[in-house]
Amino acid sequence: MLSTFFVNLCVIITFMYLSGIIAKFYSIRLPFPSLRVQMISGLLFGLYGTVLMNYSFHINDSTIVDLRHLAVVTAAVYLGGLASIVSGVIIAILRIGMFGITSSAIDAAFIMILLGLSGVYFAYASWSRLTKIITMNLLGMTMIFIVLLMNTDSISTLMKVYPMQLTLAFAGGIFIYFIAEFINRSNEMLFVLERRASTDHLTDLSNRRQFEQSLRAELQHARHYHQKLSLLAIDIDRFKKVNDTHGHSAGDAVLKQLGQLLVAHARSTDLVSRHGGEEFAILLLDCGYHQSITIAESVRKAVARFLFALPNGQTVKLTVSIGVAVYPDHCDDHDDNDLFDQADRALYEAKNTGRNRVCSLPPRNTIVADEDWL
């Protein structure tokens, strides 16, 4: 009997580990996953509970005990109310399907459904997760005791099993809590590391590494669908003067505000990134020459009008120079870096011809240059 319950705990721990791996594919920064994810997770935890029934202890021919209710408890506390209901229903259906229609099976199925429904309350209660697990676990064990009492002729036989089941259920709930919290923290750390690897820490825009990955992917997409792809290379004019005059904290404030300004004036489908220092870029998806020049001019004028607030309460006005390049008009179709190189060359042209302007180089690929150039 003790070995059976121990196997239950080992199975639960294994399931929690597998669920932690699966959880990496979903957002862990939301209070609860989407309804679709809850539905799938509820099904998964319902199957977990069903597996536990295969490692059960028989009190009599029709009554078994195990720790299947912990699957419902975990689904409720860590996944949400819908997951709790689905897992309880799945366990109830498979309890009857696996062991036949008996009074004890019907009672056990009813208890699992009732526990799943109660999980809706526990899921959204403003308690700590540990409190939820302990309380819901005790509620489930109380329900189970009532069902066992109804389906067991000998109280002495029941009392030989139930105290051990209650003790191990309590220990199992605590195990689940610590394992789940460890998995959550590990996934959160992984999320933060992945985000830091692709995001500029100051502006929250994509960093150069992420930009280069996006550029390769979008170039491949543009080649496949024969679409235009434009790139704006943006540099703040005389940014060093801001740092020298007002300090680096003022420079950081300017960079943050510029990042927000670029996002506001880009289209929702465009990709805005910071490449380091005062250099930014905007990747304009499905965008030809004329439209990219219009967007670049809109950005340039917006920056020139904007009053950048500094930490000391002062404001400054700045300008930007912008270089524009368009795929496939400006670049080699077989070189993923050429589009950026051409935009960078156009940026230097804007810098060398007076700053606060938008420049582009003549089209290299005259065969595919569209009528926007005419």
pLDDT band at 367 (very low <50, low <70, confident <90, very high): very low
Q: What is the rounded distance in angstroms from the CA atom of residue 166 to the CA atom of residue 142?
A: 9
- 208-360 homologous superfamily: Reverse transcriptase/Diguanylate cyclase domain (3.30.70.270)
Q: Which helix (H) or strand (E) segment is 374 a member of?
A: none
Q: What is the rounded distance in angstroms from the CA atom of residue 43 to the CA atom of residue 142?
A: 24
Whether 337 has a pLDDT exceeding 90, the answer reads no
Whole-angstrom distance between the N-terminal and C-terminal Cα of the chain?
86
For residues 110-126, average pLDDT: 94
Q: Which two tokens stand for residue 140?
A: 């489930």
Q: CATH fold of 1-197, please?
A: Arp2/3 complex 21 kDa subunit ARPC3 (1.10.1760)
Q: What is the rounded distance in angstroms from the CA atom of residue 192 to the CA atom of residue 189?
A: 5
Task: Tell me the sheet residues that pair with 233.
Answer: 281, 323
Whether 305 has a pLDDT exceeding 90, the answer reads yes
Positions of E strands within the chain: 57-58, 64-65, 229-236, 271-276, 279-285, 308-309, 315-316, 320-327, 358-360
Q: Which two tokens stand for residue 298?
A: 């809109």
For residues 68-97, average pLDDT: 92
Whether 21 has a pLDDT exceeding 90, the answer reads no
Residue in the block written with tokens 């490692």: 55
For residues 217-226, average pLDDT: 91
The dihedral of CA 39, 42, 48, 54: what is its sign? negative
35-53 helix and 69-78 helix, angle to the nearest 10 degrees: 160
Q: Which two tokens stand for residue 142?
A: 């109380």
| Listed residue (65, 71, 25, 23) closest to 47, CA to CA | 71
Percent of the chain with pLDDT over 70: 90
Segments making up each domain of the chain, as ranges: 1-197, 208-360
pTM of the model: 0.62
| pLDDT the model gives residue 22 | 67
| pLDDT the model gives residue 49 | 87
**Cβ(139)–Cβ(118) below 8 Å:** yes
| Listed residue (321, 212, 207, 196) closest to 273, CA to CA | 207
| Listed residue (68, 93, 4, 76) closest to 41, CA to CA | 76
28-69 pLDDT per residue, tens: 444 567 888 889 889 989 998 888 888 776 666 666 677 889
3-class DSSP state for residue 250?
helix
Q: Which two tokens stand for residue 240?
A: 């060093």
For residues 336-361, average pLDDT: 93
| pLDDT the model gives residue 28 | 43
| pLDDT the model gives residue 198 | 76
Percent of the chain with pLDDT over 90: 53
For residues 292-321, average pLDDT: 96
pLDDT top residue among 223 and 186: 223
35-53 helix and 81-99 helix, angle to the nearest 10 degrees: 30
Task: Say which of 181, 278, 279, 297 is annotated catalytic.
Answer: 278
| pLDDT the model gives residue 259 | 96
Rg of the chain in Å (alpha carbons): 31
**Cβ(297)–Cβ(317) below 8 Å:** no
pLDDT top residue among 8 and 121: 121
What average pLDDT does the structure give for the chain?
86
Q: What is the rounded distance in angstroms from the CA atom of residue 12 to the CA atom of residue 234?
A: 54
3-class DSSP state for residue 195?
helix
Sheet with 358-360: strands ordered across: 271-276, 279-285, 229-236, 320-327, 358-360
Residue in the block written with tokens 């009813």: 110
257-286 pLDDT per residue, tens: 999 999 999 998 999 999 889 999 999 999
pLDDT band at 156 (very low <50, low <70, confident <90, very high): confident
pLDDT band at 1 (very low <50, low <70, confident <90, very high): low
- What are the C-alpha distances in Å from 117 to residues 177, 348, 368? 21, 65, 63
Residue in the block written with tokens 């905007």: 282
Whether 137 has a pLDDT exceeding 80, the answer reads yes
Q: Which helix (H) or strand (E) segment is 316 a member of?
A: strand 315-316
**CA angle at 150 for the pair 148 and 152, rounded to the nearest 5°:** 60
| pLDDT the model gives residue 31 | 58
Active site residue 218: no
Neighbours of 182 (CB within 10 A): 13
For residues 19-28, average pLDDT: 60
pLDDT top residue among 122 and 161: 122
**Cβ(192)–Cβ(265) below 8 Å:** no
Lowest mean pLDDT, pick from 30-39, 209-218, 351-360: 30-39
